[in-house]
Homo-oligomer: A and B are copies of this chain.
Amino acid sequence: MKSIGVFTSGGDAPGMNACIRSVVRTGLYLGLDVYGIKYGYNGMIDGDIYKMKSYSVSNIVQRGGTILKSARSKDFMTKEGRAKAYEQLKKRGIEGLVAIGGDGTFTGANIFYEEYGIPIVGAPGTIDNDLYGSDYTIGFDTAVNTALDAIDKIRDTANSHDRVFFIEVMGRHSGYIAIQSGIGGGAELVMVPETSTTIGDVIQTLKEGRDNQKTSSIVVVAEGGEQGDALEVAAKVAKELPDLDIRVSTLGHIQRGGSPTSYDRILSSRLGMAAVEGLVNGEKNVMVGVVNDKIAYTSFKLAISKAKPINPELMRLVDILSI
């Protein structure tokens, strides 16, 4: 292998730049040419590709977002699109790819590999931490800390006014951000897609808190819960407990950005290095991850299809700590 390409795809995540940097420098260190492909699969199709040097990735380890830009590509979902993409790679002699992204990215990569046999190693870049095959994904630790910082701020107001706050965090199919920011933020209750929490449960928790002289409470709600979003949950609760001073805050897009934490920079750097080393060593059609703090490769298929359950110990912690 003499030439590889790297791109980011899907929602951006803090640490993607650190990962790009690691891919580029590991590639150069191993004597490879490294090409940056902009705007994910779209740039691959359009040939928006340039050769990267060591200085191309200077001073980006601390930056959120992705210098290669990201996009979701409709064209790549067509046979024609993928054919064009392959031509662009072939023309430049690119023999392997590092794809930084989430399940959509890897679904595309899987098809592309099957059609054209080009080796692809994926790095899990998504704040949702919803990929099997890596204990943590790039951006997750930063997103949790951002959510936590917001909860800390909101608790100032909750305490000052004796209010109940429903705080919605990201994680449509995964409660990881919710459970971790909930524990860290001292939430009374956390509602995640993985477990069933009824409105009755919420009401009981809030009543118990009141009985225990709690004057304010925080409920963290993962965005995709079965009881609806935070606004809907709050409205249902308010009907039953009209005396409470209830407010809602939806944290939204701030959770995607910002300078990555130490953990995310190191994870991203490790995964970038391991992705390139994997390619060189013959890995293909796999996602690289960290399992029990060791590098592991998992097939794309497994990575995107197998569920990653939340540690039940964490669910128990919320219960105990909120007494």
B265 near A152 (CB under 8 angstroms)?
no
Query: B313–A185 contact, CB under 8 A?
Result: no
Cβ–Cβ < 8 Å partners of A251 in chain B: 254
Nearest CB in chain B to that of A143: its residue: B262
User: How many angstroms between the C-alpha atoms of A21 and B317 in the bound complex?
Assistant: 12
A252 within 8 Å of B by Cβ? yes
Contacts of A321 in B (CB 8 A): 21-22, 25-26, 269, 273
Kindly state the separation between the CA atoms of A141 and B148 in the bound complex, as whole angstroms: 15
A116 at the interface (CB under 8 A from B): no
Contact, CB under 8 Å: B273 / A154: no
Q: Which of chain A's residues 140-175 have a Cβ closer than 8 Å to chain B?
A: 141, 144-146, 148, 150, 152-157, 159-162, 165
Kindly list chain B residues whose C-beta atoms are within 8 Å of the C-beta of A183.
Answer: 265-266, 269
Q: What residues of B have a CB within 8 angstroms of the CB of A25 in the complex?
A: 320-321, 323
- Which parts of A1-25 form the interface with B (CB within 8 Å)? 8, 11-12, 14, 16, 21-22, 25
By secondary structure, the A interface counts as helix
Complex Cα distance A251/B153, Å? 12
In the bound complex, CA of A141 to CA of B180 (Å):
15
Number of identical monomers bound together in the oligomeric complex = 4
Q: How far is the CB of A175 from chain B (nearest CB, A)?
A: 14
Q: Name the distance in Å between A76's Cβ and chain B's nearest Cβ.
A: 16
Assess whether B69 is in contact with A150, with CB atoms less than 8 Å apart. no
Measured in the bound complex, the distance between the Cα atoms of B259 and A287 in whole Å is: 34
Asked if A203 is at the interface of the complex by the 8 Å CB criterion, the answer is: no
- The answer to whether A320 and B273 have CB atoms under 8 Å apart is yes
Interface residues of A in 267-323 (CB under 8 A from B): 269-270, 273, 292-293, 295, 311, 313-314, 316-317, 320-321, 323
Q: With A and B bound together, what is the CA distance between A70 and B146 in angstroms? A: 27
**A59-67, A85-93, A102-110, A234-242: which lies at the B interface?**
A59-67
Binding site for B on A (CB under 8 A): 8, 11-12, 14, 16, 21-22, 25-26, 28-29, 54-55, 59, 61-66, 69-71, 135, 141, 144-146, 148, 150, 152-157, 159-162, 165, 180-181, 183-186, 212-213, 247, 249-254, 256-259, 261-263, 265-266, 269-270, 273, 292-293, 295, 311, 313-314, 316-317, 320-321, 323
